[in-house]
């Protein structure tokens, strides 16, 4: 039978084009950065393996706010935790005895510190008077309305020592002008030489004051806990803040207002880019109460967000407290970003925090509105042990610590034998380091391939020494060989073979 020449030509041409596309695919330049499996950037294909969101484990109560007169059940909203050398610093809102919020001038920022991120103390700062006593942990702010601040250590090279610590103040103070129109006070930057004594960076806000309700009936921005940091990867200061999005309802003339996130950047803290509304990456419209976006300390080019998704109706089936007749709830979620105007959401509907301490002792029947505030994680993850990191959850009357394996957000998992292959990458270094955990009888092997998927001689699965155990930093070997300097700078793929194993991260390094 004579073959159909057009079909043969088509098949040959298709194969040639596919080969050319593989050869022309721009490799991902990993350099020596640690990479996580929190988005779709790296994994090209999987077989018998999957990505699984990990679950933080509840630790203990970090702070009990019920034993200080200036704090109380509404303290601790969105705590910020910083690891500063050997010291852990926590900053949190306190209503100064005025209830949920009270007058803006009567709220404040409180400070606690720890040597290990687990046991916390409240130092006697003697900065601000409370009911005739200076013996407290209340920080003196340059403006009495600054109760919600989110500090960070400025890592930009050349930062003056007097400005080592910076903070963004959430512009939640609402005031009325001479005509009775309500405004917020914009967003300010604060600076400090020691993290304890704060001044305004500028007398004017870097994001302007806004009318509390605009002509379309949308509340003003900044109504939430906002964040800022210096990004080496973007070579800019990055700021994320709460916004409101006016969305037209499908098949309706009415609009609906949703809580969202805006992003703006600056090279010098003076000139800022036009704010853009972030794509939340979910499966539908959501209320992001807090976003908690910040660089991950082991991979700062990846920003981790743990948003509190607010459910204003009774649709949420997850109750953070005994039944109190309140329909709304906040559920924690997981998201990430590598910059730009989009969050990546591999698990848009899966809860991040699923267990907790009983709330009975800290439940207050008079606060029927508190459940919407109960699922809000604080800003930043911090290392608290050699293979452990911690996050802090706000609850009425307390802050609770949760712990998670280092790099343990999302794992590549195979219960039997599975494979995952990366897209083409280049790297800097002569060794490959992995964070892996195996079950009894489990193992991980790694193969290096060229850009077309062909195994590299000497680095095949057959050459690879099986890795087993539980180690956040294990060097991959092929036989007795770990040096991969010969392929440094070349385009390769990585093929991970997992047997009853979890892979959390990998990094090329120089040994």
For residue 284 the two structure tokens come to 């539908």
> Does some domain include residue 373?
yes
Asked if residue 36 has pLDDT above 60, the reply is: yes
Tokens of 180: 């009775």
Mean pLDDT of 149-154: 96
DSSP 3-state of 392:
strand
The string of pLDDT tens digits covering residues 179-189 is: 888 888 899 99
- Report yes or no: 65 and 71 within 8 Å, Cβ to Cβ: yes
Residues 334 and 225 grouped into a single domain: yes
Higher pLDDT, 214 or 323: 214
Q: How many structural domains comprise the chain?
A: 2
User: What is the value of pTM for the model shown?
Assistant: 0.90
CB 239 within 8 A of CB 263: yes
Cβ neighbourhood burial of 221 (10 Å; 0-12, 13-18, 19+) = buried
Domain boundary among 377, 405, 433: 405
At which residue do the structure tokens 């092997």 appear?
445
| 495 domain-assigned | yes
Residue 447 in any domain: the answer is yes
Q: In the numeric block, which tokens belong to residue 198?
A: 């704060």
297 within some domain: yes
On whether both 348 and 378 belong to a single domain, the answer is yes
Same domain, 359 and 497: no
SS3 string of 394-447? EECCEEEEEEEECCCCEEEEEEEEEEEEECCEEECCCEEEEEEEEEEEEEEEEE
List the CATH number of the domain containing 81: 2.115.10
Nearest Cα neighbor of 148 from 183, 178, 108 is 108
Question: Out of 116-130, 197-211, 318-332, which region has the weakest mean confidence (pLDDT)?
Answer: 318-332
Mean pLDDT of 365-370: 44
Q: What is the pLDDT of residue 30?
A: 98
Verify that 369 and 414 share a domain, yes or no: no
- In this structure, are 372 and 455 located in the same domain? no
> Mean per-residue pLDDT for 239-259?
81
373 and 420 assigned to the same domain:
no
169 and 293, same structural domain?
A: yes
Domain finish residue from 405, 420, 454: 405
- pLDDT confidence bin for 251, thresholds 50/70/90: low
Q: What does the H/E/C string look like for 129-178?
A: CECCECCCCEECCCCCCCCCEEEEECCCCCCCHHHCEEEEECCCCEEECC
CATH code for the domain in which residue 33 is found: 2.60.120.260
Percent of the chain having pLDDT more than 90?
66
- Residue-wise pLDDT for 381-433, tens only, equals 999 999 999 999 988 788 999 999 999 999 999 999 999 999 999 999 999 99
Comparison of pLDDT for 253 and 25, the residue scoring more: 25
Query: Do 67 and 108 have their domain in common?
Result: yes
| Comparison of pLDDT for 360 and 68, the residue scoring more | 68
Tell me: do 122 and 182 sit in the same domain: yes
Sign of CA dihedral 133, 138, 140, 142: negative
Q: What is the pLDDT of residues 476-488, one digit of tens each?
A: 999 999 999 999 9
Residue 17 forms part of a structural domain: no
* Predicted pLDDT at 369: 44
4 lies in a domain? Answer: no
Q: Are residues 306 and 352 in the same domain?
A: yes
256 within a domain of the structure (yes/no): yes
- The predicted pLDDT at position 108 comes to 87
Q: Looking at the structure, do residues 419 and 318 belong to the same domain, yes or no? A: no
Domain hosting residue 159, numbered range: 57-191+206-262+270-405
DSSP 245-314: EEEEPTTSS-EEEEEEEEEEEESSSSSBPPPEEPB--SSS--EES----EEETTEEEEEEE--EEEE-ST
Confidence of residue 312 (pLDDT cuts 50, 70, 90): low
Q: What is the Cα–Cα distance from 148 to 125, expressed in whole angstroms?
A: 18
pLDDT for 253 equals: 62
Rounded to whole angstroms, the maximal C-alpha distance in the chain is 102
Distance CA 52, CA 57 (A): 16
- When pLDDT is cut at 50, 70 and 90, the band that residue 474 belongs to is very high
Mean pLDDT, range 130-154, rounded to an integer: 92
Q: Is residue 200 part of a domain?
A: no
pLDDT number for residue 453? 97
- Which among 360, 375, 405 is the end of a domain? 405
Note the pLDDT of residue 249. 67
**Any idea which of 4-8, 230-234, 332-336, 443-447 has the lowest mean pLDDT?**
4-8
Residues 123 and 178 in one domain: yes
């Amino acid at each position: 039978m004579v073959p159909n020449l057009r079909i043969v030509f088509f098949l040959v041409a298709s194969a040639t084009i596919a080969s050319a596309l593989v050869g022309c695919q721009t490799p991902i330049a990993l350099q020596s950065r640690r990479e996580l499996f929190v988005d779709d950037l790296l994994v090209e294909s999987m077989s018998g393996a999957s990505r699984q969101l990990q679950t933080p484990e509840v630790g203990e109560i970090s702070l009990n706010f019920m034993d200080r007169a200036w704090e109380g059940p509404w303290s601790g909203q969105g705590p910020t935790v910083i690891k500063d050398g050997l010291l852990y610093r926590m900053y949190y809102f306190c209503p100064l005895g005025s209830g949920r919020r009270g007058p803006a001038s009567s709220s404040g920022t409180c400070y606690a510190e720890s040597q290990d991120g687990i046991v916390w103390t409240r130092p006697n700062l003697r900065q601000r008077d409370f009911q005739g006593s200076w013996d407290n942990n209340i920080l003196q702010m340059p403006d009495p309305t600054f109760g919600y601040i989110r500090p960070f250590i400025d890592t930009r090279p050349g930062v003056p020592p007097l400005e080592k610590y910076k903070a963004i103040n959430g512009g939640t103070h609402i005031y009325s002008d001479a005509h009775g129109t309500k405004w917020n006070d914009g967003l300010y930057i604060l600076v400090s030489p020691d993290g304890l004594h704060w001044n305004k960076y500028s007398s004017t806000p870097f994001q302007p004051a806004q009318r509390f309700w605009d002509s379309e009936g949308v509340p003003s921005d900044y109504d939430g806990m906002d964040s800022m940091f210096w990004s080496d990867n973007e070579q800019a200061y990055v700021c994320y803040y709460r916004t409101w999005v006016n969305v037209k309802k499908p098949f309706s003339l009415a609009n609906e207002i949703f809580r969202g996130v805006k992003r703006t950047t600056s090279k010098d803290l003076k000139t800022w880019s036009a704010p853009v509304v972030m794509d939340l990456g979910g499966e539908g419209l959501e209320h992001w109460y807090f976003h908690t976006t910040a660089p991950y300390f082991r991979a700062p080019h990846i920003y981790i967000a743990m948003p509190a998704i607010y459910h204003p109706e009774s649709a949420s089936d997850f109750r953070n407290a005994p039944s109190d007749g309140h329909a709304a709830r906040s559920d924690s979620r997981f998201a990430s970003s590598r910059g730009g105007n989009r969050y990546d959401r591999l698990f848009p509907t899966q809860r991040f925090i699923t267990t907790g301490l009983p709330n009975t002792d800290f439940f207050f029947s008079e606060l029927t509105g508190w459940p919407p505030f109960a699922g809000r994680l604080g800003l930043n993850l911090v290392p608290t042990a050699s293979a452990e990191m911690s996050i802090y959850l706000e609850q009425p009357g307390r802050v609770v610590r949760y712990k998670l394996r280092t790099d343990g957000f999302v794992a590549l998992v195979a219960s039997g034998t599975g494979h995952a292959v990366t897209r083409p990458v280049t790297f800097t270094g002569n060794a490959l380091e992995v964070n892996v955990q195996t079950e009894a009888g489990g193992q991980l092997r790694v193969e290096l391939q060229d850009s077309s998927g062909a195994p590299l001689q000497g680095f095949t699965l057959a050459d690879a020494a099986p890795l087993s155990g539980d180690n956040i930093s294990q060097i991959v070997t092929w036989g007795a060989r770990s040096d991969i300097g010969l392929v440094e700078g070349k385009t390769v793929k990585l093929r991970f073979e997992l047997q009853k194993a979890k892979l959390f991260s990998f990094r090329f390094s120089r040994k």
